């Protein structure tokens, strides 16, 4: 039995689709077949979800309560945890959520359960947050400068996660770095978005401080952390590629053009904006 958490999110919803019948942990009931209502922040709600589970696909925000989820999973005899972490989850990262990921990863490695970590680069789906500004102004502002980024389609993160959750043994103890096929900049995003929509798209370069203020004004969650990440991206934080997606799935990851054709063209399975 596989349990998928974060099942309503970008990775989880696609992983559930690919895996077929699995149990899901959701915070809000949606009428799914084997769905358990629970919350990382309320460990007592997790027992019903974890009962009889062999493999846990642990997806969700980098909150410390994931540590309690791991403890609960170990107590229930879960054998293998497949966890989505971050590609720069270091204990001394300047970004709080990356430090939290590092603490959760360390706890998992010490838990006695088998584990596989998936460490993706920047998600292409993050770009969908630009859509309202592009529609309203014909462009978007950002502070990632000319930083090159090995962006990955979250559907491909899901494909790798589903492949591993379906046959976890051979992936035990491994960390896979996940990227798309190309290094792209936000100038490339503007050009490809224009090409996908037939409308010009301007990339307005702003400072990290201006970007942070704009995100705060627009009510973007975790605006300060996001501004930190964009500043790091400008410095090359995301300028790396990996072949691990092909090694895990045997296929090729989607590129930016495919993502934009699917998701800006309206056919994307992503259930909501990031």
Choice from 55, 114, 120, 159 touching ligand NAP (CB under 6 A): 120
User: Is 177 a residue that touches ligand NAP (CB under 6 A)?
Assistant: no
Do 151 and 180 meet the contact criterion of CB atoms below 8 Å apart?
Answer: yes
Give the DSSP letter of residue 222.
Answer: T
Within 2-41, which residues bind ligand NAP (CB under 6 A)?
A: 5-12, 27-28, 39-41
CB 161 to ligand NAP: min, Å? 10
Number of chain positions touching ligand NAP (CB under 6 A): 26
Number of alpha carbons in the 13 Å side-chain half-sphere of residue 10: 20
Residue recorded with tokens 């979800």: 49
Q: What are phi and psi of 92, to 5 degrees?
A: -105, 20
Calculate the dihedral angle through the C-alpha atoms of 245, 248, 254, 255, rounding to the nearest 10 degrees: 20
Choice from 32, 43, 61, 236 touching ligand NAP (CB under 6 A): 61
Provide the mask over 37-56, with x wherever binding to ligand NAP is found by CB under 6 A and - wherever it is not.
--xxx---------------
Do 50 and 78 meet the contact criterion of CB atoms below 8 Å apart?
Answer: yes
Do 57 and 4 meet the contact criterion of CB atoms below 8 Å apart?
Answer: yes
CB 17 to ligand NAP: min, Å? 13
Other residues' Cβ atoms within 10 Å of the Cβ of residue 44: 10
Choice from 93, 111, 126, 225 touching ligand NAP (CB under 6 A): 126
Provide the mask over 143-172, with x wherever binding to ligand NAP is found by CB under 6 A and - wherever it is not.
-----------x------------------
Q: Residue numbers of the site for ligand NAP (CB under 6 A)?
A: 5-12, 27-28, 39-41, 59-62, 84, 86, 97, 120, 122-123, 126, 154, 274
């Amino acid at each position: 039995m596989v349990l998928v958490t974060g099942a309503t999110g970008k990775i989880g919803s696609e992983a559930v689709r690919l895996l077929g019948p699995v149990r899901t942990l959701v915070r809000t009931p949606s009428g799914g077949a084997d769905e358990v209502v629970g919350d990382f922040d309320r460990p007592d709600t997790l027992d019903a979800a974890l009962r009889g589970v062999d493999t846990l696909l642990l997806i969700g925000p980098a909150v410390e309560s994931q540590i309690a989820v791991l403890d609960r999973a170990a107590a229930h005899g879960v054998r293998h945890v497949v966890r989505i972490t971050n590609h720069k989850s270091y204990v001394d990262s300047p970004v709080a959520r990356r430090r939290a990921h590092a603490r959760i990863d360390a706890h998992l490695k010490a838990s006695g359960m088998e584990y596989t970590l998936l460490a993706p680069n920047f998600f292409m789906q993050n770009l969908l947050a630009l859509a309202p500004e592009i529609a309203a102004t014909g462009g978007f502002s950002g502070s990632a400068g000319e930083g090159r980024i090995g962006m990955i389609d979250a559907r491909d993160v899901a494909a790798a996660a589903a492949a591993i959750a379906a046959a976890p043994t051979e992936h035990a103890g491994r960390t896979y770095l996940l990227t798309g096929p190309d290094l792209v900049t936000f100038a490339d995003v503007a050009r490809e978005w224009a090409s996908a929509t037939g409308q010009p798209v301007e990339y307005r370069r702003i400072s990290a401080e201006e970007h942070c203020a704009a995100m705060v004004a627009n009510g973007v969650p975790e605006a300060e952390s996001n501004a930190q990440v964009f500043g790091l991206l400008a410095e090359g934080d995301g300028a790396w590629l990996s072949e691990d997606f092909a090694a895990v799935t045997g296929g090729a990851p989607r590129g930016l053009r495919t993502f934009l054709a699917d998701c800006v063209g309206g056919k994307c399975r992503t259930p909501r904006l990031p």
